Amino acid sequence: MISFLDDNFSQLNQYIRESEPSLLLLLVDENTHEYCLPTVLANLETTIPFEIIEIEAGEEVKNIATAAQLWEILSEFGTDRNALMINIGGGVITDMGGFVASTYKRGIKFINIPTTLLSMVDASIGGKTGIDHQFYKNIIGTFAMPEKIFAYPKFLQTLPFTELRSGFAEMLKHGLIASAQHWNNLKGIELTPENIEPYVVDSMNIKQQVVEQDFKEQNIRKTLNFGHTIGHAIESLYLQQEAPVPHGEAVAAGMIMEAHLSYSNNLISQDALTEITQAIISIYPNLSIEHFNQDDIYNLMLNDKKNSNGIIKFSIIDNIGHCLYDYEVTKSQIEDALQYYKDAYLP
């Protein structure tokens, strides 16, 4: 499923040679067109016809209007069911491209070449595709597996630092929920593409292994939501104020608070909590949450699509490297966790 590309992209060429698609559809956004597509094209060795499709960059275009445009473009190209869509980009491209491919003519094959850290270690893996609709993120979509994921961590070299740091939060999460070794490798490293590159494979494997055990998120896949219950609420409140924060920064804050829930439930020691907090605050800026109403945060968590019947279920760690899911905590424990985060950056 996951292959790492050498500098000649021979694994990609071999896959195309063996699968013999009728047409290659290379989907990029304006940035991956500039920074990543030239490398792909320079290495692509094939006589199969190909088309390049570019969309604008950004979450704003991950919608039904863009999907409809892409379906139309595929029609114009006379795309048949043996065509192969090649998604070259971040999570927006892999989510959108996967969605359009999995719905066009009831599904054509697609592969992902993730180019952001977030798409490498998270979005390109696991078969969730989709688009946003009205005010809801990823509300329309399919479960559809890419045929292959081709990773080329050198693409990280042109990624803006804030995007790198945002994606890195998912890597830290992988360590905390599934591998103390991975966590130890990552904590304290200086965030440069070169330093992160060697560990991308471990994060990709963790995500892939979790998803293989529980594709439809009935049990262990829920552990990937660690940091995301409180994190999403904070992310939504910032979005409502039209001051969006990067997803990974909200997740990083969420991981501190949800680690505090572990601590207040006697699942991890104070030392472990301190270790997690220090590692995260040394990288991520303080998302000051003082100006948010605690009830707003709480209600957003209650309304999260993953919760029902007025009960908030958390994925929380009971050790560095292991995670529980469907864990219920009290409202006062959540309040304590929020307070803990507010104090965490104080000198």
Q: How many residues bind ligand NAD (CB under 6 A)?
A: 29
- CA–CA separation, 139 vs 200, rounded Å? 28
Query: Which CB, 94 or 179, lies closer to ligand NAD?
Result: 94
* Piece of 42-50, 58-66, 283-291, 312-320 that binds ligand NAD (CB under 6 A): 58-66
Asked if 89 touches ligand NAD (CB under 6 A), the answer is yes
Q: Based on CB atoms, which residue is closest to ligand NAD, 58 or 198?
A: 58
How many whole angstroms separate alpha carbon 235 and alpha carbon 243?
9
Residue found under tokens 């009205």: 134
Q: CA-CA distances (angstroms) from residue 269 to 185, 225, 259, 322, 339?
A: 21, 21, 10, 14, 18
Alpha-carbon span 112 to 124, nearest angstrom = 6
Chain centroid offset of residue 285 CA:
20
CA distance 253 to 220: 22
**Angle at CA 123, nearest 5°, toward 146 and 63?**
90
Decide: is 221 part of the binding site for ligand NAD (CB under 6 A): no
Among 93, 237, 257, 276, binds ligand NAD (CB under 6 A): 93
| Binding residue (CB under 6 A) for ligand NAD from 24, 57, 84, 324 | 57
Is 228 a binding residue for ligand NAD by CB under 6 A? The answer is no
Q: How far apart are CA 226 and CA 222, in angstroms?
A: 8
Other Cβ atoms closer than 10 A to 250: 27
Which of 35/77 has CB closer to ligand NAD? 35
- Enumerate residues 138-167 that contact ligand NAD by CB under 6 A: 138, 155, 158-159, 163
Does residue 235 touch ligand NAD according to CB under 6 A? no
Contact code string over 109-128 relative to ligand NAD, x by CB under 6 A: ------xx-xx--xx--x-x
Tokens coding 318: 């009971």
- The footprint of ligand NAD (CB under 6 A) covers 29, 31-32, 35-36, 57-59, 62, 89-93, 95, 115-116, 118-119, 122-123, 126, 128, 137-138, 155, 158-159, 163
